[in-house]
Amino acid sequence: MVSVDIAARKVLSYILFVLVLIDLRYEGVQCGKNSDVEGHLEMGKKLLAAGQLADALSHFHAAVDGDQKNYMAYYRRATVYLAMGKSKSALPDLSKVIELKPDFTSARLQRGNILVKQGKLDEAEEDFKKVLKSSPNEKEEKEAKSQLVKADEMQQLVSQANSDLARKDYTSAVVHLDAVIETCMWDVTFRELRAECFLQMGEMGKAISDLKAATRLRSDNTQAFYKLSNIYYQLGDHEMSLNEVRECLKLDPDHKQCFSHYKQVKKLNKQILSAEDLIQQQRYADAVEKYESVMKTEPDVHHYTHQAKERICHCLSKNQQAVEAITVCSEVLKSDPENVNALKDRAEAFLQDEQYEEAVQDYETASKYNEGDRQIKEGLEKAQRLIKQSKKRDYYKILGVKRTAQKKEIIKAYRKLAQQWHPDNFQDADEKKRAEKKFIDIAQAKEVLTDPEMRNKFDQGEDPLDPESQQEGAHHFHHTWDGFQGFNPFGSGPFNFKFTFN
């Protein structure tokens, strides 16, 4: 479609040319006896030639007000409206010109051209036929014949499109409507028909484009706004859906369909925004409850149930509810295997559940779909370190506590095991030796897991008590437990235990 600026310039050039012909043709004809009107017409003409459209328009307004039977005043005002791209405003003035002077072929031609663009093909054909019957000049005759042929072609294309729609052949209907809309660019009905075809074909983006054009072409088009809101709603864009249905209600607050839909979208939108706010506050359990409400509010639109499950998966993972998170994330991935967010959240839940191989697999899959994600890279490295670590000492397993255990739980477990495995409890030499080793492991586990810095390193896959692990992590802790340097749980002498449980 030609841009408004280019089209306006072409219209203005044509109008100026026609005005010169009209002035020559009607030279000496009195269009009105009021000298003020003549003055406004002359000044308006000069301003129009200079491209000062707004100023020219004001003079032609004054001319029309001064003499409402002056067909030339109406015609000049119509020319300015056309130059400004305001064809709807020009149309009544051109009709008034034809009413006052039925043989004014230039006005009838211009009205016919506008009617074609508006899709009013029968009315346009009538204008072109009357031009041919009114002794037009050669140029006017050629244009009228050309436009008459074009209008007839459009009528045939419309008929073919209607036949296609009756057969539900939407692809063919779109082809014919494309050609119609290229000429009848200001017609609302044809765009709405094509939008319906696109909806049936699943081309939602194209349907939206046509419906948006329909709302611009007819400002009171409540039905187009309603359809737009429904399309956005089905696509899962609840905020855009809310915007469009509000536009409908601005035009008609009592519109039943729009008001009913508005209440549904507003409720859903409020729940989703509330849930996301809870996630920002790290109130994950409350967010899960809110997203469960979302699924009850809208159980039929797949996007909302899918989105709700994806966010519940995230919340459960963040809330250290590994088993539940794995279940929900797996549901999401069953229908959407390439969902990177669900893959990352399930991988994190696998880590929490000490399923390191599964975590590695999810991170590697996620990486295929989003190579530059730093979180995926770091998660994968952590999972790989934890796999290696799990083949060595696991301080959580030594104490028999979960990775989410608080400090109090760790100390409680340590005290119980330390009492159980204290070497003083064993008399047999082999048993005492086994107890010593076990007791050292228990003491080391307590030391690492009650020290925030050491525990964090261990959670990241590094063993702060293993020199080799520290070298791999580019960090060194100066503890050498093998020789008991810096810490000896047995005190001095040959197992002279004086143990204090702290």
Q: What is the CATH number of the domain that holds 439?
A: 1.10.287.110
Counts for the chain of helices (H) and strands (E), in that order: 25, 0
Q: Which domain holds residue 175?
A: 4-218
Q: Is residue 200 part of a domain?
A: yes
Q: Please check whether residue 314 lies inside any domain of the structure.
A: yes
226 within a domain of the structure (yes/no): no
Burial class of residue 301, CB neighbours in 10 A (0-12, 13-18, 19+): middle
Pair 306, 329: CB distance under 8 Å: no
Q: How many domains does the chain have?
A: 3
Q: What is the pLDDT of residue 391?
A: 76
- Mean pLDDT on 132-137: 90
Reading the block at residue 304, the tokens are 């909302």
Query: Do the Cβ atoms of 70 and 86 come closer than 8 Å?
Result: no
Whether residues 379 and 298 share a domain: the answer is yes
Is residue 256 in a domain?
Answer: no
213 in the same domain as 65: yes
Question: What is the rounded distance in angstroms from the CA atom of residue 127 to the CA atom of residue 132?
Answer: 9
458/474 same-domain check = yes
Would you state the pLDDT for residue 459? 85
Question: Is residue 411 included in any domain, yes or no?
Answer: yes
Out of 370, 391, 412, a domain closes at 391
Average pLDDT of 15-43? Answer: 60
pTM of the model: 0.71
Check whether residue 125 and residue 36 sit in a common domain.
yes
Q: Do 132 and 8 fall within a single domain?
A: yes
Q: In terms of domains, do 472 and 362 share one?
A: no
Please check whether residues 58 and 103 belong to one and the same domain: yes
Say if residue 310 is in the same domain as residue 211.
no
User: CATH number, domain at 167?
Assistant: 1.25.40.10
Residues 358 and 459 in one domain: no
Judge if 311 and 190 occupy the same domain. no
Decide which of 351, 372, 391 is a domain's last residue: 391
Q: What is the pLDDT of residues 464-494, one digit of tens each?
A: 887 766 555 544 334 433 433 334 444 433 3
64-94 burial, b for 16+ CB within 10 Å, e for fewer?
bebbeebbbbbbbbbbbbbbbeebeebbebb
% of the chain exceeding 70 in pLDDT: 86
Where does 252-283 have alpha helices with state H? Answer: 256-280
Residue 147 has pLDDT above 70, yes or no: yes
- Domain identity same for 72 and 208: yes
Q: What is the pLDDT of residue 10?
A: 58
First and final CA of the chain: distance in angstroms?
Answer: 82
Listed residues 185, 218, 251: the one ending a domain: 218
Structure tokens of 71? 């067909």
Asked, for residue 148, whether it belongs to a domain, the answer is yes
Q: Do the domain assignments include residue 438?
A: yes
Amino acid present at 419: Q
Residues 383 and 415 in one domain: no
Q: Is residue 308 part of a domain?
A: yes
